Structure 1
Amino acid sequence: MKLSNQNLIPILAIAVGGGILFTILPLPSGLAFALGAIAVGFALPYFTSSQSKSSQVDNSQSSKTLYVGNLPYRANENEVKKLFSEYGEVFAVRLMKDKRTGKRRGFGFVVINSKDADHAIEQLNNKEYGQRTLKVREANEPKNGDSSEIR
């Protein structure tokens, strides 16, 4: 189980409170530690379940990756982000470059809020941008083929 900062604060509060409580009672340190661990074990599911419910509400930031083709070679990430930001929340832009020359290849990928993806595709597909007609669609999943198989 991965602990976030929101989960860590109640655990620390329980640990400190348990430490104070068990130092007042005349218990050996090993037994006090064991009782504190048991108390945290019982309290932890309560805190994590209440935190996960609230994070499900806040976790509306799902995203989709869009393929953007036929980009002008002079376009950069900031310009493409600005273009797509008009139609939704953009999380990332990645324009592809040739490995040998470092020049842009005229296509890339935009990670956008899933709520806004269909609207952005509808508005930007076949739109003129930099004297070129953009091709925008939802990106395919990357292929997981092992490069050693291709010879």
Structure 2
Amino acid sequence: MKSNNQTTITVIAIAIIGALIFSMFSGTPPAISFALGAMLTGLALHFMQENKTPILDELDPSQSSKTLYVGNLPYRANESDVKNLFAEHGDVFAVRLMKDKRTGKRRGFGFVVMNSQDAENAIDQLNNQEYGQRTLKVREANEPKNADSLDLE
């Protein structure tokens, strides 16, 4: 189950409420009450996620997306520049350019998420084309082998 800030805040809030209820009615120490509240909240969220229909099943197949790898980008190119470039060839949902962790400077490659139907056209039109005095490399991105080892910043 993916966690985001809103889910985390919700879980903590429910756990605190659970701790208060347990400590008021059962006389247990607050730490144990908090742990019980957190466990019950986790179980409830787990069962809610199991019964939820995956979002991808609800999408129109014509709106599915593909992630493209874009390499050999000019270092001065930003997300907006790359989005505008790819938008000429179809619907662009997101652009993520990789940066060096220590310096914050762009590393010259990134990823573009776009409509599946438009992705092949973008690859055909932009791969090996010059952009900002550099020859772009555009292809469908590989799935990450281990999400924990990715260096996204």
Normalization by structure 2: what TM-score?
A: 0.57
Structure 1 residues 146 and 101: alpha-carbon distance in aligned structure 2, compared to 1, 3 A threshold: closer
Question: Which SS does the other structure have where 1:60 is aligned?
Answer: helix
TM superposition outliers: structure 1 runs of 4+ over 2 Å: 55-60
User: What is the root-mean-square deviation in Å for CA atoms of aligned residues?
Assistant: 2.0
How far residue 146 of structure 1 moved from its aligned partner, in angstroms, is 6.0
Task: Tell me how far apart the structure 2 counterparts of residues 98 and 57 of structure 1 sit (CA, whole Å).
Answer: 35
Question: Which SS does the other structure have where 2:63 is aligned?
Answer: coil
Structure 1 residues 77 and 62: alpha-carbon distance in aligned structure 2, compared to 1, 3 A threshold: same
Tell me if the contact between 2:127 and 2:138 (Cα under 8 Å) persists in the aligned partners: yes
Matches within 5 A, 1:1-151: 58-144=60-146
Which segments of 5 or more consecutive residues in structure 2 lack a partner in the other structure? 1-52
Per-residue Cα deviation, 1:108-136 (whole angstroms, up to 9, x for no partner): 00001000010000000000000000000
Task: Tell me how far apart the structure 1 counterparts of residues 122 and 148 of structure 2 sit (CA, whole Å).
Answer: 33
Structure 1 residues 70 and 57: alpha-carbon distance in aligned structure 2, compared to 1, 3 A threshold: closer
Structure 1 residues 69 and 146: alpha-carbon distance in aligned structure 2, compared to 1, 3 A threshold: closer
Task: Tell me how far apart the structure 2 counterparts of residues 126 and 116 of structure 1 sit (CA, whole Å).
Answer: 18
How far residue 78 of structure 1 moved from its aligned partner, in angstroms, is 0.3
% identical equivalent positions: 81
Structure 1 residues 57 and 68: alpha-carbon distance in aligned structure 2, compared to 1, 3 A threshold: closer
Task: Tell me how far apart the structure 1 counterparts of residues 92 and 113 of structure 2 sit (CA, whole Å).
Answer: 6
Task: Tell me how far apart the structure 2 counterparts of residues 142 and 125 of structure 1 sit (CA, whole Å).
Answer: 21
Which segments of 5 or more consecutive residues in structure 1 lack a partner in the other structure? 1-51
Task: Tell me how far apart the structure 1 counterparts of residues 59 and 109 of structure 2 sit (CA, whole Å).
Answer: 35
Question: Which SS does the other structure have where 1:83 is aligned?
Answer: helix
Task: Tell me how far apart the structure 2 counterparts of residues 114 and 56 of structure 1 sit (CA, whole Å).
Answer: 16
Normalization by structure 1: what TM-score?
A: 0.58
Letter in 1 for 2:111: F
Q: Indicate the structure (1 or 2) with the bigger Cα radius of gyration.
A: 1
Letter in 1 for 2:144: P
Which residue is equivalent to 2:5? Answer: none
Task: Tell me how far apart the structure 2 counterparts of residues 57 and 142 of structure 1 sit (CA, whole Å).
Answer: 23
Task: Tell me how far apart the structure 2 counterparts of residues 92 and 146 of structure 1 sit (CA, whole Å).
Answer: 21
Give aligned pairs, total: 94
Task: Tell me how far apart the structure 1 counterparts of residues 59 and 69 of structure 2 sit (CA, whole Å).
Answer: 29
Task: Tell me how far apart the structure 2 counterparts of residues 145 and 83 of structure 1 sit (CA, whole Å).
Answer: 28
